[in-house]
A and B are shown apart, each in its own frame.
Chain A
Amino acid sequence: MQPVDGASNRGWHVKTWNHTIMDSDQIILELTGPLERAVGKTELCLPAAGNQMLGAVLAALITEYPAATSVLGEAGRYSAAEGDLPPGLLVVRDSAAIHARLETPVCAGERLTLMPMISGG
């Protein structure tokens, strides 16, 4: 994958990726904190074919693991063509927190970390 755009939104570094075809038909999600606890898995794979939007990936996660609603909310909120993610949900790609939105492209073979911000003291 090669970064093709360095635009920014609200100061975040944003990269849109010129995805190449990956030798995989899955998206790998690493879950942390309350989301990991709710789903009961540190890592999971969702079936994927080609490029899709992050919102669709999150909706698929909730459909497959309904307990995720306690952190992510209902799957229906991710059906919009574009929009913000829930507040405090970081998406980490290649060890960098990206400015992720519902319309952020995700391709098969990618690995993302879903990291809800925590506040325990």
Chain B
Amino acid sequence: MLDDESKTERDSLQEFPGDPFLTDIEKDVYSWQLDVRDFGESGQRKLKGASVLISRVGGLGSVVAYELAAAGIGKLILAHAGNVKQSDLNRQLLMTHDWLGKPRIESAMRRLKELNPRLEVLGVAENITVENADRLVGMADCIVDAAPMFQERLAMNDAAARQGKPVIEAAMYELDASLTIIHPPKTRAFRDLVPDVPEGWTRRFPVFGAVSGTIGCMAAMEAIKVIAGFGDPLINRMLRVDLRTMRFQTIRLM
């Protein structure tokens, strides 16, 4: 049950103008989730009318993209540079052996269109930088941050804050993961949590695909809740997950 304050926060996230009608095929494909309480056809139409930018479709972002495509999001903008490597394949579920040495973004787009041919997907073979962040953020209603480097997270959050767009902040390390929503001024800015790039963080981190996939599913669900306007998103709260002990903790960020 939401209290009035939470309802106000939740409702204020409803800034997505698109609300197209569903075709008969879409009503059939999504019929099982149309039964979800507080979601229904209204929520499905909001998903269809929304666009989501995902920063990197690696271990975490690939699962976010897959779940959003399956759920019927209207448009995905995927930002990820580089070619598929063998060492990607333990976790980057949109990459395949037959695409080794070829652009990751093409593999991701191909797999997503196989799952949902109605999906509009724009692939950008770039990682987020200070230079391109405003342009890419400007293409989407909602952002999912799944980038491995803090430089990318800071650049994208700065751009999203300037444009008033919500960011689903998802991250993992070994068997730990964290998830929250950043949407100033309704929440603190990402720079309040991370003022600058932390010392000691490296490009390579220990990871099982099952860990990035777990938090990827949760991030996708948060994006669906924010876009469709139901449930109780992680506003001013951070979920901390320890899959080594299966301990889940919600931390207040005030």
A residues apposed to B, CB below 8 Å: 10-13, 32-34, 36-37, 42, 70-71, 73, 84, 86-90, 92, 95-97, 115-121
Contact = CB atoms under 8 A, between A and B. Distances in A.
B173 A118 contact: yes
A118 B251 contact: no
Interface of B: 56, 58-61, 146-150, 153, 170-174, 176-178, 188-189, 192-201, 205-207, 212, 238, 240, 242, 245, 249-254
A97 B251 contact: yes
Contacts of B178: 117-118
A121 B194 contact: no
Contacts of A89: 198
A89 to B, nearest CB: 7
Given A120-B171, A121-B170, A121-B212, 10 more contacts: A12-B192, A32-B242, A34-B173, A34-B201, A86-B199, A88-B194, A96-B254, A118-B178, A119-B150, A121-B147
Contacts of A119: 147-150, 153, 171, 173, 201, 205
17 contacts: A11-B188, A12-B192, A12-B254, A33-B176, A37-B174, A87-B196, A88-B201, A117-B171, A117-B193, A117-B198, A118-B171, A118-B172, A118-B173, A119-B171, A119-B173, A119-B201, A120-B173
Contacts of B201: 34, 88, 118-119
Contact of A116 (B198, B242, B245): B198
B214 to A, nearest CB: 12
Contacts of A70: 200
